[in-house]
Structure 1
Amino acid sequence: MELYLIRHGIAEERRPEITDAKRALTKEGRQKTAKIALRLKKLNLNFDLILTSPLVRAYQTAEVLVENGVGSHCEECQYLSPEGNLFDWVTQWFMEKDRAVMGQLALVGHEPCLGEWAEILVWGESKASLIVKKAGIIGIKIPDLGSPIGRSQMFWLTPPKYLL
């Protein structure tokens, strides 16, 4: 299975009158995310499922991907919130679901979580070295059997400027 970790697009700045969870994509963020989605479509990416953080900016990013034909649908996933836990998600997703039917799965979330998750999947521990830019993508090949922790292979690390 190919797992794609996608950071949300450009969002509203933090302001006292709006909670972090309610910060939405800006017009520019929506436009750039749509352009990136179209580029991903040209690269023949078509996610079987897009799981997204419940925070507004991430969910909107996932919706833009679906609207532009890069995935058929998106579902909210609490594990992708900034407080989410990779080990809990791996246990729930990989140990309880039949992942053999999944070819390409996208996770839309936040930094530093996505970079840390990628490091744990590839190296078995977080080294605080990988950074995913807004609307950037990390592609990881997940092994067919057993836990993916420390056994996965990163094949793609792309900042958004290379997809625009």
Structure 2
Amino acid sequence: MQIYFIRHGIAADRGSYGEDEQRPLIPKGIHKTQQVAQRLSQLGISFDTLLTSPLMRAVQTADIFCQANLAADYHIFQPLAPAGNIQAWLDWLTNWRGLGHDTLALVGHEPDLSQWCQQLVQGSIDDRWILKKAGIIGVTVPRTANPIGQSQLFWLAPPRLML
């Protein structure tokens, strides 16, 4: 199974909105995210399921990916909010894997996404992986085993390599 960890696009500066959760993508972030989504579509990539953090900038990113026909729809998933719980996602993943799906996309935030990927691939976190805005990390996880430390990295790309 392939899982794509996608960081939201470039958003408004911190402190420019009363609530951090409401910070939207800026025009440059929308444009760059659209370009990344188009490139994925050109590569023939699509997602059986797309989960997103509930924060505005992540939801907008997920919407752009759906508009590019990478997924039929997206679902808000609270554990993808900043400081989310990987165990809650792993519990969800166990059920999802049982449905026979092959490709999942998660839209969220740093440092959570890169730390989750490190746990899946390395079994630990060393904070050396950095996921740029609108960047993607791809990880292949086993269908049945616990994925922590048992998964393989297949993609780590900043958006500039996809444009």
Aligned mates of 1:19, 1:39 — CA distance in 2: 32
Under a length normalisation based on structure 2, what TM-score does the superposition of the two structures give? 0.96
Say if 2:15 is the partner of 1:15: yes
User: For residues 52 and 116 of structure 2, what CA distance do their matches in structure 1 show?
Assistant: 14
Q: Which residue of 1 aligns with 2:64?
A: 64
Q: Give secondary structure in 1 for the equivalent of 2:72.
A: coil
Q: Structure 2: which 5+ residue stretches go unaligned?
A: none
CA contact (8 A) 2:97 2:143 kept: no
Q: Verify the 8 A CA contact 2:136 2:156 in the aligned structure 1.
A: yes
Name the CA distance, whole Å, in 2 between partners of 1:102 and 1:91: 15
2: CA distance, partners of 1:100 / 1:117: 22
Distance 1:17 1:77 in 2: 23
Q: For residue 101 of structure 1, give the secondary structure of its aligned residue in structure 2.
A: coil
* 1:100–1:144 contact (8 Å) kept in structure 2: no
Q: Is the 8 Å Cα contact of residues 11 and 25 (structure 1) preserved in structure 2? A: yes
Decide whether aligned partners of structure 1 residues 62 and 16 sit closer, same or farther in structure 2, where only a CA change above 3 A counts.
Answer: closer
Distance 1:158-1:16 versus aligned 2 partners, 3 A rule? closer
Alignment-derived partner of residue 148 in structure 1: 147
AA aligned to 1:159 is P
- SS in structure 1 of the partner of residue 4 of structure 2: strand
Distance of 1:90 and 1:102 partners within structure 2: 15
Taking the aligned partners of 2:133 and 2:157, their CA distance within structure 1 comes to 11
Q: Deviations over 1:85-113 (max 9, x none)?
A: 1122102321x334452111000000000
What is the CA deviation profile of residues 9-29 of structure 1, one whole-angstrom value per residue up to 9, with x for unaligned ones? 000001254211000001111
Residues 150 and 52 of structure 1: is their aligned pair in 2 closer, same or farther, counting only changes over 3 Å? same
Counterpart in the other structure of 1:80: 80
TM-score, length-scaled by structure 1: 0.95
**1:26-61: CA deviations, max 9, x gaps?**
111111101110000011101111100000000100
Q: Which residue identity is paired with 1:5? A: F
